[in-house]
A and B are shown apart, each in its own frame.
Chain A
Amino acid sequence: MQRNSPVIERTRGQTLEVNKVLKNTYMLLSATFVFSAIMAAISTMMYMPPMTYLICIGLSFLIMWFVLPKTANSASGLVTVFAITGLMGFGIGPLLNHYLALSNGSQIVGTALGGTGVIFFALSGYALMSKKDFNFMGGFLLVGLMLAIVAMLANLFLEISGLSLAISAIVIMIMSGFILYDTSQMIHRPESSNYMIMTVALFLNIFNIFINLLHLLGFANDD
């Protein structure tokens, strides 16, 4: 019995750490979504110009790459997380205005929002319930993401609408895979998962699924 107790202690300790990371991540994720939605509503009501999207996304990525890694272990990291998600929310205002101007625009935006929610809860819930380790997908997802970025870059100049739709579909698949990957990271490697970084990672997955689903639904509505 005596020999088993350190193992039990370690397992109990790890479970507590997993629960703490999961709880903190999902709580912060909910708060950032409320804040991001408020920012998106403000941007939509202000009819911001299309350039806003690029500026806000560019700024949020710069903060994500250069500020978040330095602040993620302190309280100021929370300000960074809200700055990133708030900027992203504000950035999609012009995009939402574009879709809302369509005949059944509110249905398209609502469907994209609901669809994104279903995908996130289904995949994250599956990874949580099954406790499967999706860590093996990391290389595949990152290579896929890199190829998708190269395709996006090429399509900026080629302007092929079919390619743009294919990219949107592929990005949704990649981000769905990242939801599985990130959720299982929190379960299986809680010691290396910072909840602020995990929140931003999950927010980015959901944000990308929403934007690309909006694009696909907008196209489907055209015919």
Chain B
Amino acid sequence: MDWMKIGSALLLIMMLFVIYPRVKHELKHGRKGSQKEWLGAFALLGGVALFILLLMKSV
């Protein structure tokens, strides 16, 4: 096991520790979106996915 892997693993574990309280808070107190709002958001993310596929085909 090289140092890069150990360092990356430590950094990722630290990220989990930092993010976890925010995740808990957001899931408990965050606003719930309507079906229409989710559809709108996923349509935008779908557009991003299509754009990335297009970029991958172009190189």
Contact = CB atoms under 8 A, between A and B. Distances in A.
Contacts of A137: 33, 41
Interface stretch (A2-10, A21-29, A32-40, A53-61): A53-61
Interface residues of A, number: 47
Interface residues of B, number: 39
B11 A126 contact: no
A111 B16 contact: no
Interface of B: 3-5, 7-9, 11-16, 18-20, 22-23, 26-27, 30-33, 37-38, 40-41, 44-45, 47-49, 51-52, 55-59
A177 interface: yes
B3 to A, nearest CB: 7
A217 B40 CA distance: 27
Contacts, number: 106
Contact of A111 (B7, B8, B30, B58): B58
Interface of A: 50-51, 54-55, 57-58, 61, 65, 104, 107-108, 111, 115, 118-119, 122-123, 126, 132-139, 142-143, 145-146, 149-150, 152-153, 156-157, 169, 172-173, 176-177, 180, 213, 216-217, 220-221
Given A136-B32, A180-B44, A220-B59, A149 B26 contact: no
Given A153-B13, A156-B9, A139 B59 contact: no
Between A61, A123, A142, A221, the greatest number of chain B beta carbons within 10 A of the residue's beta carbon is seen for: A142
Nearest to A130: B40
